[in-house]
Amino acid sequence: MKGKGVEMNKPNKIIWHHTWRPEDNKLLNDFKGICNYHTNVLGWRPPCGYHFVIEYVNNKLVCHEGRKMWETGAHTRGQNDSSVGICVIGNFDIRTPTDEIYRFCAKVVKEKVYNFFGVLEHKRHSDYSPKSCPGKLFDVKRIEYFLKEDPHLWKQSLKNRTDFPDRWENGLLKVWELIGTYPELEIFRFFPDLIEKYEKLVK
């Protein structure tokens, strides 16, 4: 299987995608279809190449989790080890996303990405490839607008978290690289100097 080994992802941006494939006239119209195409046709590591996939299910927007954010993605050549790949299902070359979609995208970013990595830059797939993806009518700045509308919404109470929000500034990235997974509170016992700061944050 291609890309079987798991390598570490160090995101500094979010890259937006849609599911229209004009080169083979295909619209991958649900999360299951994307996973099947990526793993069984392209031979990529499951579940799919994206970190998140957004779609309507029973007329309600939902967010599916693909690869873990600490894993490299398979969505943008040359950027897979430094980005979070989010795909919105639809052909946005011919259909303009509604504000409902943009608001939901902003919600996903706040809750899933900003809460973990802090604020990241937003980019289009077409910024790195000669494609229209995420669609000529998909406005990434609209997502940024809704993110700025309530900049504090993404901040969760530290008491409800099991990860350490300041790990970038406190050297936990090195630990993360070593253990190859998200840091959990149990690892703090190996780093006495971090325990005091963590306890002050959650009080």
- Which 3 state secondary structure label does DSSP give 85? strand
pLDDT given for residue 6 in this prediction = 64
Same domain, 134 and 166: no
Same domain, 195 and 99: no
Phi/psi of residue 147, nearest 5 degrees = -70, -40
Residue 181 lies in a domain: yes
Other C-beta atoms within 10 Å of 142: how many? 17
* Domain count for the chain: 2
Per-residue pLDDT tens digits for 103-151: 999 999 999 999 888 889 999 999 999 999 999 999 999 999 999 876 4
Confidence band, pLDDT 50/70/90 cuts, at residue 58: confident
pLDDT given for residue 150 in this prediction = 60
Residue 114 lies in a domain: yes
Per-residue pLDDT tens digits for 76-99: 999 999 999 999 998 999 999 999
Instruction: Report the distance separating Cα 78 and Cα 82, nearest Å.
Output: 9
pLDDT given for residue 21 in this prediction = 56
Q: Which contiguous run of DSSP H or E holds residue 174?
A: helix 172-179
Give the pairing of strands 13-18 and 26-27. unpaired
Same domain, 178 and 91: no
What is the domain range of residue 177? Answer: 158-202
Same domain, 104 and 67: yes
Residue 188 lies in a domain: yes
The mean of the pLDDT values for the chain is 77
User: Is the predicted pLDDT of residue 52 greater than 50, yes or no?
Assistant: yes
The pTM of the full predicted model, rounded to 2 decimals, is: 0.71
Residue 2 lies in a domain: no
E strands, the chain, are: 13-18, 20-21, 26-27, 52-57, 60-65, 84-88, 121-124
Same domain, 98 and 60: yes
Same domain, 97 and 193: no
Structure-block tokens of residue 69: 């954010």
